[in-house]
Chains A and B, each alone.
Chain A
Amino acid sequence: MPKKILIIDDEPDVLLFLGTLLRKNGYEVCEACDGVEGIKKLIEEQPDLVCLDLIMPEKTGIKMYREMRKDERLQGVPVIMVTGIEAVDPWDFKGFKKYIHERSIPAPEGYIEKPIDKEQFLKAVREVLGE
């Protein structure tokens, strides 16, 4: 049974690209365009992995990640954080790591920096899923 991966990103192009890539590689993909929808899909779809964009409208990836890690039902789902490069976006990995460290939130299982390299992304997904 193919592993199910939830992609949460506010950019339709990213959703299309990553969705196509993962499906082509045999994964089942479900998508959400913001954090609110992401939480909903997470509960509904019970994915094996979440690819979460850090910066999004409504509920940002940071808030969503924090809720996930607080929720007993969801805290076991591995997460790959996706974000822009350092010093360009308001939130980069450095800021995110500081944020979770200050609040003693467990770190995500993987990081992927935009722009996303296909092979690097698939490698990270496989590593997290233990394949």
Chain B
Amino acid sequence: MHQIREKWTALSRSLGFKIVVSVSLILLASYGVFIYLVLDIQQDFYFSRVIREAERFSSSVVKATKHSMLSDDPEATRSIVANLSTQAGISDIRVYNHEGIVRFSGQPIEVGTHVDKKAEACFACHAEDKPFSDVIAGRLSRVYYHGGYRVLGMITPIYNEESCYNAACHAHPKEYKILGVLDVGMSLQGFDAHVRKLVIEIVALGLGTCAAVLVPIGFYVVIGVHRPVNKLRDATKKIASGDFVCKLTVDSKDEIGECARAFNIMRDQIRRRTQELMRSRGEYKALFDQVPCFICVINKDFEIIRQNSYMRDLFKGSIGMHCYEAFKKRLSKCEDCHAEDTFRNGSPSRREHCGLTVLGKEANYVSYTTPILDDKGEVLYAMIIAVDIEDRVQLAKELQVTKDFQTNLIENSIHGIIATDRNGRVAIFNRAAEALLGRQASDAMGDPDIEKYFPQHFLELILAAHLGKPVEDPRMIAQETVVTSADGEPIPVRFSGVILFEKGTPIGSVGFFQDLRTFKKLVREKQESDRLAVVGQTVAGLAHGIKNVLTGLEGGVFVVQTGMEDDDKDLLERGWKMVQTNISRIAGLVKDLLSYSKERAPQYEETDPNLLAEEVCALFDIKAREKSIIIERQFDSEAGKMFKIFLDQRGIHTCLSNLVANALDACEMDRKPVQHCLVVRTEQDPEGDLVFEVSDNGVGMDEATKQRIFASFFSTKGSRGTGLGLLVTSKIVMEHGGKISFDSRQGVGTTFRISLPAVRAVGPDLHAGGIGRDSLFGPPGPRKETTNDDGPGNAA
């Protein structure tokens, strides 16, 4: 029953049903009206026919009774009336006289009765309860029920014709217009039966026609409207329930077909949009959850109603918790709550905060709040998006520390630091710069007149950089220069400066000033101190040398004395020789000392180097032979032929003598069972530079000896050496602008090499030392070329 009711409800609400019902009602109403009108017309038609028939019948009665009336034959009249009243379809016939009394009737019982003039049949003519006065006009028929069926009563007036009021039988006054009326009653039973039949037929016809119209319409509505609409409805319900699979079959081209096609398109679009929406939603959810910043949505009570995983992990907030509880672990709203601004103004806001994580660590973040509005545009929620700026804050702190450090560094630097900005104005002027230049930083900062601060060369670099001119090196490194203080005092400084570039554009410059006033003073003091130290060392070494010689002399004298006392001639001779040796040694010491201590310009004169070398060799030949040492000469025969050679003969002679003497000593000290020899070599290279070499196959030198052979008073020969020979040699070579070098291997031998630059020009200046010579060598001074082994040896 319930299902039936539901189906009925559904059916009654369906569009097809409503269409069918509407059409049916309209059709039925139309037919009803139509049938009513048709019946009315038919009835009027038939009724008028009945009235005409009644009129004709009444006229016939009048005419039939006229004669008997005129002849005043009541029986005849009565008979006529009685006969006529028996006619089929005649209900009754009455004749009323002028006073309203029934004179004749089909029912004799009515004769003589008085009619009520107020009765309906009479009222048409009798306006008052009066006799007829004039010609009767208006409706003369009436319908009334008699004997169970309807009767048409027809009143026909009987006028007072001339024949009547002139008749002899009785006198009707002439002034009577109407003598009486004939009332004929005609049964309407047949008429009504006919009408009923007609009604039944027309209604049946109407109903049949209605059915004939409604059935196809209903069928069409069911097939063409109800079913497709139901399908459409069902499909819509499915889409509403999220089922996008169903597809409507389009099999018509009418509006419903178009609607179905549009539905399919709409379904596809909705499905696509829904899928996009789902995807966007998924993406949004993923974004919400995975975005590397914490997001939450709060209501006006500052309660969290949604949060992402980042926030959940970091602050361990939960839904319903207040945002300040989660973010800052506090019990009341923050004083500087900017979410409140968003709720109040409906506008986004931003603020930096420092919260506390679940671990109790500080979490710096910048928080953005955005209003979430309802349909009325009122702020419903606020979305808080907070970006972790811990790194940035940390970086800022570190940057600040670095900046403070650098500021401290700059301010507390012992060197003056002055920097300019890209506009060429002073931007940094530290305390040391203030002290150095005697200017206040407050005056210097922003000063465009940087000529007051930087040396000229650096100013030129700055200018070139700003003009975009190519600069080979935009730096000055540790250059000694002089700047002027505010008081005009020249201040020696070591200046380093650099032009600062950014992508090729100069953005400033910075200069570092090392105050050299103290340094210069210290240098002067050190030079003095060094000089005194050298003097002291020299005196000590000299004293030692002299003491050695004196000891030797003392020893010699002791030996001589002992020889004399013991009359030992051999001992006497040996002692005397010892005395002689020590006397010659002290003479050599004095000579070397003089050579070393005296500033002496070389006395250049044209020299044959081979001859000079030969002189030295000859000097040592005898001594060498005594010790079975060979002196070999390897002289360059071309030396002095291409270029003339100018030397300080005395000086170079001394040098060669020292080297040959050392070589002989080295050979003498050597215990190798070999033929000791030394080689003296001269050579002039194509550029005119002259080389003297003295080689030996003596003891060679160890590393320690190599390090010290040019030190003053160093000797490997004990008291036999003065420790000045190589020192003197190196000094003379330096005075020539040459260099001395050596190569020695312990147990193998030593080679000393003196290189002297060519002297290109000669003239009077040569003797003054200010010669125009072109040294092809580096700065004068001894240099060790190679070292291979250890060993004592050639230091004299």
Interface residues of chain A, those whose CB is within 8 Å of chain B, are: 10-11, 13-14, 16-17, 20-21, 24, 34, 36, 53, 55, 57-58, 84-85, 88-90, 114-116, 118
What 3 pairs between A and B have smallest CB-CB spacing?
A115-B551, A17-B555, A57-B669
Please determine whether A10 and B578 come into contact, CB atoms closer than 8 angstroms.
no
Distance of A120 Cα from B394 Cα, bound (Å) = 78
Q: Which residues of chain B have C-beta atoms less than 8 A from A114's C-beta?
A: 548, 551, 718-719
Please determine whether B555 and A57 come into contact, CB atoms closer than 8 angstroms.
no
Among candidates B540, B670, B720, residue contacting A57 with C-beta atoms closer than 8 Å: B670
Distance of A55 Cα from B575 Cα, bound (Å) = 24
- 12 A-B residue pairs with CB within 8 Å: A11-B719, A13-B719, A14-B719, A16-B578, A53-B718, A55-B718, A88-B541, A88-B713, A88-B714, A90-B708, A114-B719, A118-B558
Interface secondary structure of A, over-half rule? loop
Q: Which residues of chain B have C-beta atoms less than 8 A from A89's C-beta?
A: 718
Please determine whether B671 and A115 come into contact, CB atoms closer than 8 angstroms.
no
Distance of A90 Cα from B548 Cα, bound (Å) = 17
Please determine whether B571 and A85 come into contact, CB atoms closer than 8 angstroms.
no
Please determine whether A116 and B716 come into contact, CB atoms closer than 8 angstroms.
no
B751 sits at the interface (CB 8 A): no
Most buried by B among A17, A21, A58, A118: A17
Distance of A24 Cα from B575 Cα, bound (Å) = 14
Please determine whether B559 and A17 come into contact, CB atoms closer than 8 angstroms.
yes
Interface residues of chain B, those whose CB is within 8 Å of chain A, are: 540-541, 544, 547-548, 550-552, 554-556, 558-559, 562, 571, 574-575, 578, 581-582, 669-671, 699, 704-705, 708, 713-714, 716, 718-720, 723, 792
Q: Which residues of chain B have C-beta atoms less than 8 A from A118's C-beta?
A: 554, 558
Most buried by A among B555, B705, B718, B719: B718
B537: nearest residue on chain A (CB-CB)?
A87
Q: A13-B578, A90-B705 are in contact. Are A24 and B551 (CB under 8 A)?
A: no
Q: What is the minimal beta-carbon distance from A17 to any residue of chain B, in angstroms?
A: 3
Q: Which residues of chain A have C-beta atoms less than 8 A from B547's C-beta?
A: 115
Please determine whether B574 and A11 come into contact, CB atoms closer than 8 angstroms.
no
Please determine whether B558 and A88 come into contact, CB atoms closer than 8 angstroms.
no
Q: Which residues of chain A have C-beta atoms less than 8 A from B562's C-beta?
A: 20, 24
Please determine whether B716 and A55 come into contact, CB atoms closer than 8 angstroms.
yes
Please determine whether B670 and A16 come into contact, CB atoms closer than 8 angstroms.
no
20 new A-B pairs (CB below 8 Å) besides A17-B552, A20-B571, A57-B669? A13-B552, A13-B581, A13-B720, A14-B719, A16-B555, A16-B578, A17-B558, A20-B558, A20-B559, A34-B671, A53-B718, A55-B716, A55-B792, A57-B671, A57-B792, A85-B544, A89-B718, A90-B792, A114-B718, A115-B548
Q: A16-B574, A88-B713, A90-B704 are in contact. Are A21 and B669 (CB under 8 A)?
A: no
Q: What is the minimal beta-carbon distance from A101 to any residue of chain B, in angstroms?
A: 19
Q: Which residues of chain B have C-beta atoms less than 8 A from A16's C-beta?
A: 555, 559, 574-575, 578
Q: Which residues of chain B have C-beta atoms less than 8 A from A11's C-beta?
A: 718-720
Distance of A53 Cα from B578 Cα, bound (Å) = 19
A58: nearest residue on chain B (CB-CB)?
B671
B672: nearest residue on chain A (CB-CB)?
A58
Q: Which residues of chain A have C-beta atoms less than 8 A from B699's C-beta?
A: 57
Q: Which residues of chain B have C-beta atoms less than 8 A from A57's C-beta?
A: 669-671, 699, 792
Q: Which residues of chain A have C-beta atoms less than 8 A from B559's C-beta?
A: 16-17, 20
Among candidates A24, A53, A84, A115, residue contacting B550 with C-beta atoms closer than 8 Å: A115
Q: Which residues of chain B have C-beta atoms less than 8 A from A13's C-beta?
A: 552, 555-556, 578, 581-582, 719-720
A18: nearest residue on chain B (CB-CB)?
B555
Among candidates A36, A84, A88, residue contacting B671 with C-beta atoms closer than 8 Å: A36
Q: Which residues of chain B have C-beta atoms less than 8 A from A88's C-beta?
A: 540-541, 544, 713-714, 723
Q: A13-B581, A20-B559, A57-B669 are in contact. Are A116 and B720 (CB under 8 A)?
A: no
Q: What is the minimal beta-carbon distance from B584 to any residue of chain A, in angstroms?
A: 12
Q: What is the minimal beta-carbon distance from A59 to any residue of chain B, in angstroms?
A: 9
B581: nearest residue on chain A (CB-CB)?
A13
Among candidates B551, B571, B578, B582, residue contacting A116 with C-beta atoms closer than 8 Å: B551
Q: Which residues of chain A have C-beta atoms less than 8 A from B705's C-beta?
A: 90
Q: Which residues of chain A have C-beta atoms less than 8 A from B571's C-beta?
A: 20
Q: Which residues of chain B have C-beta atoms less than 8 A from A20's C-beta?
A: 558-559, 562, 571, 575
Please determine whether B792 and A10 come into contact, CB atoms closer than 8 angstroms.
no
Distance of A24 Cα from B552 Cα, bound (Å) = 18
Distance of A12 Cα from B231 Cα, bound (Å) = 140
Distance of A90 Cα from B718 Cα, bound (Å) = 11
B792: nearest residue on chain A (CB-CB)?
A57
Q: Which residues of chain B have C-beta atoms less than 8 A from A53's C-beta?
A: 718
Q: What is the minimal beta-carbon distance from B370 to any residue of chain A, in angstroms?
A: 81
Q: Which residues of chain B have C-beta atoms less than 8 A from A116's C-beta?
A: 551, 555
Q: Which residues of chain B have C-beta atoms less than 8 A from A10's C-beta?
A: 669, 718
Most buried by B among A16, A34, A85: A16
Q: What is the minimal beta-carbon distance from A41 to any residue of chain B, in angstroms?
A: 15
Q: Which residues of chain A have C-beta atoms less than 8 A from B716's C-beta?
A: 55, 90
Distance of A59 Cα from B201 Cα, bound (Å) = 168
Distance of A118 Cα from B558 Cα, bound (Å) = 10
Distance of A118 Cα from B551 Cα, bound (Å) = 10
